[in-house]
Amino acid sequence: MTDYAIEARDVAVTYADGTEAVRDVDLLVERGEFFGFLGPNGAGKTTMIKTLVTLLRPTAGSVTVNGFDAVAEPRSVRATVGYMAQETSVDPELTARENLRFACDAYGVPRAERGDRIDELLELVELTDVANKVADDFSGGMKKRLDAATALVHRPPLVFLDEPTTGLDPAARNRLWAYFRRINDEGTTVFLTTQYLEEADQLCDRLAVIQNGAVVADGTPETLKRRVGGEVLTVALADGDESDRAVSIAREEGVFADGATIEPNANGLTVTARDARTRGTDLLVALRDAGIDVVGFDVRAPTLDDVFLAVTDEGAGGERASEIESTPTSAVPSGTVGDGGRGSSEAESGGEGETTGNGGDR
């Protein structure tokens, strides 16, 4: 048996209107890994997830999930994955327990196992006390926890989480992180997309960054941060309008070693350089000599935000990676992945996500 939970090679997905959402994507995710898939809005993350869970058919390339070919054996893929979509699959008129019972039906969990399985999941996501309350009364965080539990009823070895914590407050987010960590510790492979780079940093063993449908970087969070090339010096000026002049001075004085990137920011400038820490004071002196007032400076190790800015267009004056807002891209409920799941999948209904080539949607 292959060691990979996900093996995607040269995958392209082109929608019927000609939009090339994903191209030449190679993804190898090992069993047991916590894998992060990052990218700006519209980069192709949801398209890729939908392809991996067989809701969309690739236009080109091959996709193997849990050892099953996604095009030839979609039912086997669906039976062995859980999918927490961006949109909630919780039925507000049902209680938490009833929602889980419904999901057990959809995923064909044997009747004899359902009671224990549901109790165990309610406990995992700390909803035991409200098990018999209707979900309509739940907070956003509680609904997300119920969504997460719903995706796990059939104990899939691989779970897809599409921006699972968007819109939650930090406490609710932390709680979900704890569940995701726990299921991963227990052996479940996790494929996560997120707009929160800190989330990816905290949780993921390995990451890929996608931009305009193509993977532009991948590796462990640490490797990617090292790739940024040094430390990050931020200088705040009394007058933000002096930023461009300060940048010219930093570049022309040759303060930093070759390979440094020196860019203006809203209040001053940002330098990423191997010698940002040791040569930072030289820059401050040069700025003072030029009559530019410095009101603050800070040197820090790179974060995934810096990686994201370095490898995507977001660095060229776009919105900051950690502030990217997500735009829901479809109305596919989470429960559609299991065979006989609630509602029909896009793939089966030939709905919103029509693709070209390979016969389009099933």
Ligand X SMILES: Nc1ncnc2c1ncn2[C@@H]1O[C@H](COP(=O)(O)OP(=O)(O)OP(=O)(O)O)[C@@H](O)[C@H]1O
Residues forming contacts to ligand X in the complex (CB under 6 A) are 15, 17, 19, 21, 39, 41-47, 326-327, 329, 352-353
C-beta neighbour count of 311 within 10 angstroms: 21
- For ligand X, the closer of residues 47 and 88 by Cβ is 47
**Beta-carbon-side half-sphere exposure of residue 36 (alpha carbons within 13 Å):** 27
- For ligand X, the closer of residues 17 and 252 by Cβ is 17
**Beta-carbon-side half-sphere exposure of residue 96 (alpha carbons within 13 Å):** 26
CB of 16 to ligand X, least distance (A): 7
CB of 126 to ligand X, least distance (A): 28
Paired residues of 28 in beta bridges: 7
CB of 328 to ligand X, least distance (A): 7
CB of 21 to ligand X, least distance (A): 3
Distances (CA, A) of 59 to 78, 315, 359: 19, 31, 8
What beta strand segments (E) does the chain contain? 4-14, 20-30, 34-38, 60-65, 68-69, 81-84, 158-162, 189-193, 206-211, 214-219, 231-237, 261-264, 268-273, 294-300
- For ligand X, the closer of residues 128 and 326 by Cβ is 326
- For ligand X, the closer of residues 202 and 212 by Cβ is 212
CB of 43 to ligand X, least distance (A): 4
- For ligand X, the closer of residues 84 and 255 by Cβ is 84
Residue type (1 letter), 185: D
Residue type (1 letter), 224: L
Which phi and psi angles does 311 have, rounded to 5°?
A: -100, -10
- For ligand X, the closer of residues 213 and 341 by Cβ is 213
- For ligand X, the closer of residues 30 and 87 by Cβ is 87
Question: Token pair of 188, please?
Answer: 């479940």
Distances (CA, A) of 300 to 28, 88, 222, 225: 32, 38, 14, 12
- For ligand X, the closer of residues 51 and 80 by Cβ is 51
CB of 46 to ligand X, least distance (A): 3
C-beta neighbour count of 68 within 10 angstroms: 19
CB of 234 to ligand X, least distance (A): 27
Q: Which of 167, 122, 168, 125 is nearest to 145 (CA)?
A: 125
Provide DSSP, 334-347. GGGSSTT-SS--HH
* Cα distance between residue 53 and residue 68, in whole Å: 11
CB of 50 to ligand X, least distance (A): 8
User: Which DSSP helix (H) or strand (E) runs through 207?
Assistant: strand 206-211
CB of 213 to ligand X, least distance (A): 7
- Describe the crossing of helices 96-107 and 111-124 by its angle, rounded to 10 degrees: 130
- For ligand X, the closer of residues 15 and 107 by Cβ is 15
